[in-house]
Every structure is written in C-alpha cells, then in structure tokens.
A and B are shown apart, each in its own frame.
Chain A
C-alpha cells in the first residue's frame, strides 16, 4: 500500500538552540516505524529515475521495498552491493541534486527521503551485529596499492578486497578517512561511523599504513618497482586552499576553512583534553557558499562565537551546499549575507582582523556555470565587523604525485588526467576523486574509486603474466 503523504517523514533532530553549542550529531535518524512509513511513500515506479541520479547506481527502489516490509538487513545488503560506505553517503550526499532530485514523487510533493532511508538501513546494520558478512572472492595474491584513505581510496580498496586483491592503503595523516575525518564535522558525520567502515575493511584484510606521504616517503614509481605493487590507485584529494587575493588576507584571524576544520575535526580542538590551539573569536565571517563554508560556520557557532556570518556573492538558489545544511545553518542562527562579495579585510595596528569590507552584488546574465553571474553594484561598499575571517572558496590541485611520478599526465585543470575507466596514461596507475576533478563531493569520489577498482581488475586480468 502506498503512503500518499505529500511530505517526507520529518527527521528527528536536536533542538537548534541546544545543538548549536554542541558537537553531537544533529540528525538523530529514523525510528523503524518512521522508516517503514517513509519507505511506503515509494511508488516503486518502473522508470527508476532515482537510480540514474546516483553516481554509484544504488538499487534504490529495491532497498526501499525491503525496508517497507521490515527486511532491514536485506535492504543494507542491496545498498552494499554497489555502495561501500552507505552510513556515510546517507548522511553527506547532496540527495536533492542526485537521487531525490529525480524522484517521481518530487514532481508534485516532496521526494521520498532516500538519503534518510539509506542511513537507516546502514545504522540498523551497524547496531545489529552478528549478521553474516558478504561474500568476497578468495584471495588472488595480486597486490594493489591505494594512495589516500579518503572516500575515493576507501571505496576503491573496498571493491578490490571484495574481488580478492591484496590491498594496501597509504595515508599521509595519522587518521584514516581523509576529508571524512579532517573536513566533515562530528555533528554531521560522527567519526565512529568512519572508524567502523575502516575497521570493516581491515577485517576483510585491507592493510593501512598511516604517516606515509606518497611522493615524499615513497614515490608511486617505487611502490611499483620496489614494493612490487602491480597497480596503484591515486586518490590523494584536493590541494591547497584558494584565497581571494584581496588586501588583508594575511592578517591575524584569517584562515582557510581547511585549517579551521582540520584543527577542530582531526585535531579535536573542541575537546579540552587535546592540545590543539584554535581561533576563539566572537564574530566570525565565513566566505563561501558550499558545504565547507556551512561546516566552518556551524563549527564556529559551536566553538562559542556570538555572531557567525556566511558571505556569498550569489543568491541562495546558486549555493552549492546541500539544502539540508543551509537549512540547519539558518536554524542555528547563522546570518546569511547573500549577493555580497568581500573586497578587503580590515585590521588594527597589531595586525588583528577587525572586519571585512564587502560590496553588494546584483544578478546579471547566465554564465558558463549555468548560474546568473553576480555583478558589483557600484558604491555599495559596507563593513561587517568580525574578529575572524574563514575563507571557504575552494581548493587548488595538489601537484605532489604529478611532480614525483615519471611521465604521469596532467589534465587541463592541473589534476591527474584519466579516461572513463579512471585509468591514467600509465597503464598500471589509476586515479580518481578530487585529485582528478578538483573539489567535488564524497559520493563522486567514491564513484571514481569504484570505477578505478573495476578498471584495475580489468587491467590485471588482461595483463600477460
């Protein structure tokens, strides 16, 4: 029986006034009753547009059907056949522009809450241990190295170990998970979920080596020649943060979102027992409109700031952040200053930030990105007082692997060049995620990791012995 309710089952959430001062997870997850009720909103339509919206093609109507009849473990198994990290994707995917954006029910009403149901199935699986592990092929003794333990690397390693490969993952930081541990905050993605996904891979036989900087400690060529890996996947993520190149960016109290978030998430600056120093400011302005900007703003609020601003040069419609994050940020009292662009950062005699001078923007013609390009309104300058400015306007590409690997080709943007199978110009080297595309999403990186795993399998199967 179809549930004809026009709206999604609301997600139980911590009260905004309370959660804006703690790091506990904002969304508490559906109960069984809510999940079943929501699953019954799915029409199980024949065209399955939701599946085509998913970068890893999860069999969405099939898993939702299982939730509707209470077969949660089976629902999880269906998701797991194509997605390695469902508990993570259910939480951080931009569903509104992927699966849910294509849902037939979304034409008239709210789409089915696919992300919340995915999360429900994954969390149910995690809370009910003792379920049989999924089939993996027997070990084939072919060795593959994965560089970077972020979403691309973990997804690639997960698929490769399931295919029977001997997989070793190298990570430059001391913790595994990449952006899932240093970037995305605890209140959006609890770190124990990432740790559980990593342990699951370890249990299957994936080896992890931390503090190993490929390109410095060992090069990709050495992994192949000396360590005898037959194929290497490079999923090293994005590089240095971009700045705006406006006056005042090196004043005290200006930092990149990468640094602010890493201090808080990886280095746990919000917990008193950790030594990590962190900017403690009263008025924090975050420049940018993506998920990273939302994360930084919401962290700033939780670190005790009195006022937190988002400064974004386009309108809300064009914000790349997940709709839910924007909604949550507003509920938590983040002050959105849209169609506003910084022109310089102001400081006092000692070099401390005192504010940010901005100019108002109007919406102009549609630009190459398909969005209306913002145009400066002359003489509309004004100052927002702030004692900390966080730049969240994207990242550049990291050249470390390209600079230290022989004959590895770069693409036009400066990332590693790959074909549709994630293969580089060197047959034994594959690459994917932000290292190829520049800053993108967790799920796209995972998708690239999975494509690469298939590509590596094909390459090694066809390679003459």
Chain B
C-alpha cells in the first residue's frame, strides 16, 4: 500500500462519502475526537477533517465527508488506489472521557460522521451512550447500523418525518431530558446553529455540554493563528486547545461569522472544479 492511498471509497448517501485511507503514522496514534489536515494535490488547500475512525493494525484511518467545498468536491473525484498529496495528524486533543458514566451525543447531518467515533469510543470505554442522530430526510440517513451496534440507545430523527421520528435533534434531546434521563455530559457535533441550541438546552438542565468546533486552519499545530475562537471571553485556538470546547462558553455568533469569511472565494472555487480541471490535478 502506498502512503495516503484510498483503500476503499463508499457513498453513504447522495452527498456523503466514506474513505478508508492508508496512513499508518496517524492511525497508530489517533483517538476519538481528533482530526487530520489533508491536501488533495500540490495545488490544493490544507483542510482539517475530524476522523470518523481508525484501525491501528491496518494502518488506516476513516474519513467521512460531505462534498460541500472545493477540496471535498475534488475528493469526490478521487478513486480507490488514488493517493492524497499529504495527510498530517493526529491533531487536536482527544475527546475527554474520564469520570463520565452516562452521556448523550447529538449529531446533526454530516456531523453524525464525526459524532460516531466519539459516541462509539465512549461506549467502548464503558460509558453509557444515548445517541440522537438527526437528518433532513430519509435519504440522508447515514451510519444507522453503526450507531445501533455501538451505542446503548440510538434515536434517529428526521426534520420531515420521512424516517424514524419526526423531530429536530433539539426537540428529541429536550424530550429525553424531560422524561427524566440524567446525563453527565451532552456532546454536540453538527452545524453551529444546532450545537448552539443543544448547548443551550444542556445549560437549562444544568448539564455540562461539549461542542466539536471547525475553523479555518493551515498548519494545525499552533503556528498560524487562523482558527482562533472566543471561549468564555478569551482567545483559544481550535487546533491545539480544541477541537472540543465547553459548549456553554463558546461565542457562537462570532464562530459562524468567522467561518463565513472566505465564502465568496470558496463559491468561485467550487464553481470551477469541473469546468476547469475536470478533477484532481496531477503534477510532479
């Protein structure tokens, strides 16, 4: 196997794909909640992606991504046997599990892919895990079997009720809490707006919340300063202080604002993936 080679590629739904990649340097050390930085090719950006799993024995890592930006669209065009130019990691702090007995993990959309290693990792560490996995509709549901096999209870909810229960993840969480479920911690992984609401509900019930944040990042090791977020009124860096933070302390509005900074350039780049290059570009 070649370095950073795609061993398998599987479409989980229309937008979301699972890649298994040979990357022993990362696989040997990866823990739930950590991320990698990758480049598709010489001309590509460096983007951070939280790992959806890893296998130390095979030297592989799992990435699940939605093709929403230029880099992920280029990744869609890569095939089994193709290699990434670079993958560096594992980066960030692993998910904190110490002292936890019962946790509720809430995943939204693609965020479920990143919630999965956290939920299953906790479950495998003897923590009782309730999983709320929310999707827009039945066609977008991913990882249901994985969740059912690796958590204590899995609740699949959809916005339109076309699969599972018709509810937003926030509704389901509130119901579970009102029914008297006790959690030591609530973990939110998904769109910032959902995470903000989930962490708000947790606070209402006096429960600690943890949110996994995404930000622009270049090196991922604490050099560029691009990923700074405000946590409890202080500057923190997602790459070295995160990616998981106390949800009650996150300045969500600032995070949403900062993550939209390159929106126009990204829209331009997206529009040019296929018309210009037809896919990943090769260079020596």
Contacts and interface: CB of A to CB of B under 8 A. Distances in A.
Interface string A232-261: 000001111101010001101101101100
B88 A172 contact: yes
B43 A252 contact: no
Contact of A217 (B26, B43, B45, B266): B26
Given A217-B29, A250-B258, A258 B224 contact: yes
Nearest to A350: B257
Interface in B217-233: 218-226, 228, 230
B44 interface: yes
A238 B223 CA distance: 7
Interface stretch (A12-20, A42-50, A268-276, A332-340): A268-276
Contact of A262 (B26, B44, B224, B254): B224
B88 A174 contact: yes
A interface majority secondary structure: loop
Interface in B19-47: 25-26, 28-29, 39, 43-46
Given A250-B230, A263-B218, A217 B90 contact: yes
A239 B223 CA distance: 5
A240 B91 contact: no
B87 to A, nearest CB: 6
Contacts of A182: 219, 223
B269 interface: yes
Given A172-B219, A250-B228, A216 B91 contact: yes
A199 interface: no
A280 B266 CA distance: 13
Contacts of B70: 275
A172 B221 contact: yes
Contact of A213 (B46, B88, B225, B237): B88
A114 B26 CA distance: 46
A212 interface: yes
B67 to A, nearest CB: 15
A451 interface: no
A185 to B, nearest CB: 16
A277 B223 contact: no
B43 A259 contact: no
A252 B87 CA distance: 29
A210 interface: yes
Contacts of A240: 222-223, 225, 237, 240
Contacts of A253: 261
Given A172-B88, A217-B26, A259 B221 contact: no
A262 B33 CA distance: 26
Contacts of B219: 172-173, 182, 262
B86 interface: yes
B235 interface: yes
A218 B25 contact: yes
Interface string B107-137: 0000000000000000000000000000000
A101 B185 CA distance: 62
A211 B224 contact: no
A282 to B, nearest CB: 15
B225 A212 contact: no
A211 B225 contact: no
A256 B71 contact: no
A84 interface: no
A214 B15 CA distance: 35
B230 A259 contact: no
B207 interface: no
Given A275-B71, A398-B222, A400-B222, A216 B86 contact: no
Contacts of B192: none
Contacts of B28: 217
Interface in A193-229: 210-213, 216-218
Contacts of A255: 225-226
A274 B43 contact: yes
Contacts of B87: 211
Contacts of A239: 222-223
Interface string B238-255: 001000000000000010
Contacts of A266: 218
Contact of A174 (B26, B86, B235, B261): B86
A364 interface: no
> Size class of A's contact patch?
35 or more
B26 A256 contact: no
Contacts of B262: 277
A262 B223 contact: yes
B179 interface: no
Contacts of A384: none
A351 interface: yes
A56 interface: no
A350 B253 CA distance: 11
Contacts of B97: none
A212 B258 contact: no
Nearest to B237: A240
Given A250-B254, A273-B43, A259 B225 contact: yes
Contacts of A212: 25, 88
A256 B237 CA distance: 13
Interface in A256-313: 256, 258-259, 262-263, 266-268, 273-278, 280
Given A240-B240, A274-B43, A351-B257, A213 B226 contact: no
A256 B224 contact: yes
Contacts of A172: 88, 219, 221
A172 B222 CA distance: 11
Contacts of B265: 277-278, 280
Nearest to B277: A273
Contact of A256 (B88, B221, B225, B230): B225
Contacts of B90: 216-217
Contact of A267 (B218, B258, B269): B218
Contacts of B89: 213, 216-217
Closest 5 CB pairs of A and B: A256-B225, A277-B262, A211-B88, A241-B225, A259-B224
Interface of B: 25-26, 28-29, 39, 43-46, 70-71, 85-91, 218-226, 228, 230, 235, 237, 240, 254, 257-258, 261-262, 265-266, 269, 281
28 contacts: A172-B88, A174-B86, A211-B87, A212-B25, A213-B91, A216-B29, A216-B89, A216-B221, A217-B25, A217-B28, A217-B90, A243-B228, A243-B235, A252-B261, A253-B261, A259-B218, A262-B218, A262-B224, A267-B45, A267-B218, A268-B43, A273-B281, A275-B44, A277-B45, A277-B265, A277-B269, A278-B265, A398-B221
Given A241-B224, A262-B224, 15 more contacts: A172-B88, A211-B86, A213-B89, A216-B89, A216-B91, A217-B25, A249-B235, A250-B235, A256-B225, A256-B226, A258-B225, A273-B281, A275-B45, A275-B70, A276-B45
